[in-house]
Amino acid sequence: MTRINSFIFKSFLIVFLTFTYISCGGESNSDKQTVDKSNTSGLPDWEFKNGFGPIKKKLYLMPIDKPMAGEGLKIFESKCAACHKLDERYVGPAQRNVLQRVTPEFFMNMVLNPEENVEKHPHSKEMLAQYMQKMTNQNINLEDARKLLEYFRLLDSELPKK
């Protein structure tokens, strides 16, 4: 019992720290050289925050492009929805609030390069331990991953603000 409790507590702590970190980092990301003390992962700060993959720089995001988000929805339905629902756990976690959990850059890297993230990134490893299913590479190209991001930015913008 104690052991399980301690595990849950630790997991919670990690997730909590990650979220805290991301929400803080979102605002003041200008200085990449800053050593982040919450990063005890051994990973470089960028990867710790944004995952491994082709997105290696902060994205400059314009106001939400609705037609693009519409295309993202179609991609979601064809390539993702077999495993992800918006509001309930399915094969993988519910996705409506994904951008409250990870950065846009992490989101795209995870979509584009799940294998490496599942292997190396503590957050993805944690998810794997929880869902027991490696996220699938759905052979999504950069452009389509960006459209998916737009769809989730739209969903995010519709969420009640805390």
Partner 1 sequence: MYRKYLNMFSIAVAIIATVVIIHNGCQQSKDLVSGDVAEKVYVKPGTYDDFYLFTSGGFSGQVGVYGLPSGRLFRVIPVFSQDPEKAWGYSEESKPMFMTSYGFVPWDDAHHPKLSQTDGIADGRWLFINGNNTPRIARVDLATFRTAEIIEIPNSGGNHGSPFLTENTEYVVASTRFSVPIPNKDVPLNSYKENFKGTISFIKVAKEGAMNVEFQILVPGFNYDLAHGGKGPSHGWAFFTSYNTEQANTLLEVNASQNDKDFIAAVNWKKAEEYVKQGKYKTFSANYFRNYFDEKKHMAFSEKKSDVKILIPSECPGLIYYLPTPKSPHGVDVDPTGEYIAAGGKLAAIIPVHSFSKMMKAIENKEFDGDVDGIPILKYESVMAGEVINPGLGPLHTEFDDAGYGYTSSFISSEIVKWKIGTWEVVDRIPTYYSIGHLCIPGGDTKKPWGKYVIALNKITKDRYLPTGPELTQSAQLFDISGEKMKLLLDFPTIGEPHYAQAIPSDIVMKNSRKIFPIEENANPYSIKAEKDARVVRNGNVVHVYMSTIRTHFAPDNIEGIRVGDEVYFHVTNLEQDWDIPHGFAVKGANNSELLIMPGSTETLKWLPAQEGVYPFYCTDFCSALHQEMQGYIRVSPKGSNVELAWHTGK
Is the CB of 22 or the CB of 140 nearer to partner 1?
Answer: 140
Asked if 139 is part of the footprint of partner 1 (rule: CB under 8 A), the reply reads: yes
Binding residue for partner 1, selected from 83, 86, 97, 154, defined by CB under 8 A: 83
Q: Which residues of 61-94 are buried (b: 16+ CB within 10 A; e: fewer)?
A: eeeebeebbebbbebbeebbeebbeeeeeeebbe
Binding residue for partner 1, selected from 60, 87, 132, 158, defined by CB under 8 A: 132
Binding residue for partner 1, selected from 34, 40, 100, 137, defined by CB under 8 A: 137
Spatial neighbors of 4 by CB under 8 A, at least 6 apart, are: none
Asked if 33 is part of the footprint of partner 1 (rule: CB under 8 A), the reply reads: no
Residue at token pair 């400059």: 60
Distances (CA, A) of 160 to 15, 85, 155, 156, 157: 22, 19, 10, 9, 8
Is the CB of 77 or the CB of 119 nearer to partner 1?
Answer: 77
Asked if 59 is part of the footprint of partner 1 (rule: CB under 8 A), the reply reads: no
Q: Footprint of partner 1 on this chain (CB under 8 A)?
A: 77-79, 81-83, 90-91, 132-134, 136-140
